């Protein structure tokens, strides 16, 4: 990720370009991923995240993936980039905010969500933070201010717009709130150095910043929407069709890892994650793992509900970013391969 702040317009163009993949590229990419063979794929290429243990990585370490192995090909820079890599066959699965998945599906990418992997609850949420002595106290105070977030057109920007809309701010005034891309690892520093007025923080980076003091929340996504699953893993429809056993093993294994993280003492989960990061040998700092609290997935085993896509279909339709009636929530996901929590 770039260290400097990117402008809203430039990053938005980049984001839209990222989503503008052709049907031919999708077809070619998935053919490469499956190899066109009747034999099902058992090694899954994926992108990771620095200093973080993804649910598939946890599932693999717990022995929940059976005969499947994970092949790390590098770290993702954002959710939209991660699912594009899956759609074009560079990886076998990728995860992103459900609204970004809706956008990609609207561009004719042949992808389908198979399991939720992150969300918001009382312990794990996206917070919008200001300095302790900041004059910003209400939505109207954000007019003309800069809000730093990991990427545009995704979870953080969606919740910011919902917050502004529910406050009664006009579209003209809401448009004056400037969203900027700031790498998550730099958000706290950018906020404290007053390069931005609001920083969007989550997970261990949020808790680490709060522990240092001097910042306070303006609002949290959990306060706006309650507990909800916000993002899911996708695979191409072709890969799912040609590798049903692999998809079932992967999905159910990740679902078991979700439930293991819920029912296992937090200290034990953190210890397991720390061990995973150390032994994979990527030269990563494990200190932030102590702040982990949950993955925030709402439903049992990460099973997906219509509402987790319908909210963003409606939101993007109102913004004119997809055609109204173009997509149905039920077409975007499947729980068929998730054996955890059936019934």
Residues 29 and 47 in one domain: yes
Residues 94 and 144 in one domain: no
Residues 231 and 136 in one domain: no
Residues 148 and 175 in one domain: yes
Residues 159 and 247 in one domain: no
* Token code pair at residue 238: 């072709």
CATH number at residue 183: 3.40.190.10
Residues 184 and 302 in one domain: no
Question: What pLDDT does residue 33 have?
Answer: 36
pLDDT at 231 over 70: yes
Helix/strand number for the chain, H first, E second? 15, 10
* pTM metric for this prediction: 0.80
Question: What pLDDT does residue 343 have?
Answer: 60
pLDDT-derived band at 3, boundaries 50, 70, 90: very low
pLDDT at 41 over 80: yes
Give the pairing of strands 111-120 and 69-75. unpaired
pLDDT at 336 over 90: yes
Question: In this predicted structure, which of 25-34, 227-236, 238-247, 319-328 has the lowest mean pLDDT?
Answer: 25-34
Residues 146 and 114 in one domain: no
Per-residue pLDDT tens digits for 238-275: 999 999 999 999 999 999 999 999 999 999 999 999 99
Q: Using an 8 Å Cβ cutoff, are 310 and 332 in contact?
A: no
pLDDT-derived band at 319, boundaries 50, 70, 90: confident
User: Beta-carbon neighbour count of residue 270 at 10 Å?
Assistant: 18
Per-residue pLDDT tens digits for 103-115: 999 999 999 999 9
pLDDT at 65 over 70: yes
Domain extent for 257: 9-120+227-332
Question: What pLDDT does residue 38 have?
Answer: 65
Residue 337, in any domain of the structure: no
Per-residue pLDDT tens digits for 287-302: 889 888 999 999 999 9
Residue 211, in any domain of the structure: yes
Residues 196 and 286 in one domain: no
Mean pLDDT of the chain: 88
pLDDT at 93 over 50: yes
Residues 140 and 114 in one domain: no
Residues 63 and 99 in one domain: yes
Q: According to the per-residue pLDDT averaged within each range, which of 281-285, 320-324, 334-338 is highest? A: 334-338
The count of structural domains within the chain is: 2
* β-bridge partners, 219: 128
pLDDT-derived band at 30, boundaries 50, 70, 90: very low
For the chain, what percent of residues have pLDDT higher than 90? 75
- Specify burial of residue 211 (Cβ count, 10 A radius: 0-12, 13-18, 19+): exposed
Domain closes at, from 194, 225, 256:
225
Q: Using an 8 Å Cβ cutoff, are 256 and 342 in contact?
A: no
* Token code pair at residue 120: 């918001």
* DSSP E strands, the chain: 43-48, 69-75, 94-97, 111-120, 126-131, 146-149, 178-181, 198-202, 215-220, 228-236
Question: What pLDDT does residue 322 have?
Answer: 93
Strand order in the sheet with 215-220: 178-181, 146-149, 198-202, 126-131, 215-220
Question: In this predicted structure, which of 22-26, 134-138, 170-174, 210-214 has the lowest mean pLDDT?
Answer: 22-26
Question: What pLDDT does residue 153 have?
Answer: 79
pLDDT-derived band at 155, boundaries 50, 70, 90: confident
Question: What pLDDT does residue 1 have?
Answer: 38
Segment 201-208 mean pLDDT: 87
Domain closes at, from 175, 194, 225:
225
Domain closes at, from 225, 246, 276:
225
Q: Using an 8 Å Cβ cutoff, are 302 and 115 in contact?
A: yes
């Amino acid at each position: 990720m770039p260290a400097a702040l990117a402008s809203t317009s430039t990053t938005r163009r980049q984001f839209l370009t990222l989503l503008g993949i052709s049907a031919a590229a999708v077809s070619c990419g998935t053919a490469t991923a499956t190899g066109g063979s009747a034999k099902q794929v058992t090694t899954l290429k994926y992108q990771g995240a620095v200093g973080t243990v993804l649910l598939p990585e946890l599932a693999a370490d717990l022995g929940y993936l059976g005969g499947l192995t994970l092949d790390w090909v590098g770290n993702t820079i954002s959710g939209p980039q991660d699912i594009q890599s899956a759609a074009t066959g560079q990886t076998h699965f990728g995860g992103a905010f459900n609204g970004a998945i809706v956008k990609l599906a609207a561009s004719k990418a042949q992808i389908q969500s198979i399991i939720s992997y992150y969300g918001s609850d009382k312990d794990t949420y996206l917070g919008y933070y200001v300095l302790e002595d900041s004059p910003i106290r209400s939505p109207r105070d954000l007019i003309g201010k800069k809000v730093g977030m990991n990427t545009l057109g995704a979870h953080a920007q969606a919740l910011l717009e919902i917050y502004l809309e529910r406050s009664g701010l006009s579209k003209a005034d809401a448009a004056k709130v400037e969203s900027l891309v700031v790498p998550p690892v730099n958000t706290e520093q950018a906020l404290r150095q007053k390069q931005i007025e609001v920083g969007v923080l989550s997970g261990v980076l949020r808790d680490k910043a709060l522990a240092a003091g001097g910042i306070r929340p303006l609002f949290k996504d959990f306060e706006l929407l309650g507990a909800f699953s916000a993002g899911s893993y996708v695979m191409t429809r072709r890969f799912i069709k040609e590798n049903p056993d692999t998809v079932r093993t992967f999905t159910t294994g990740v679902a078991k890892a979700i439930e293991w993280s819920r029912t296992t003492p937090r200290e034990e989960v953190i210890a397991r994650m720390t061990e995973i990061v150390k032994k994979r040998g990527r030269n990563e700092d494990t200190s932030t793992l102590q702040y982990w609290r949950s993955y925030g997935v709402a439903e049992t085993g990460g099973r997906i509900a219509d509402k987790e896509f319908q909210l963003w279909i409606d939101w993007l339709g109102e913004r004119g970013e997809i055609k109204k009636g173009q997509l149905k929530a039920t077409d975007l996901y499947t729980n068929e391969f998730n054996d955890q929590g059936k019934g």
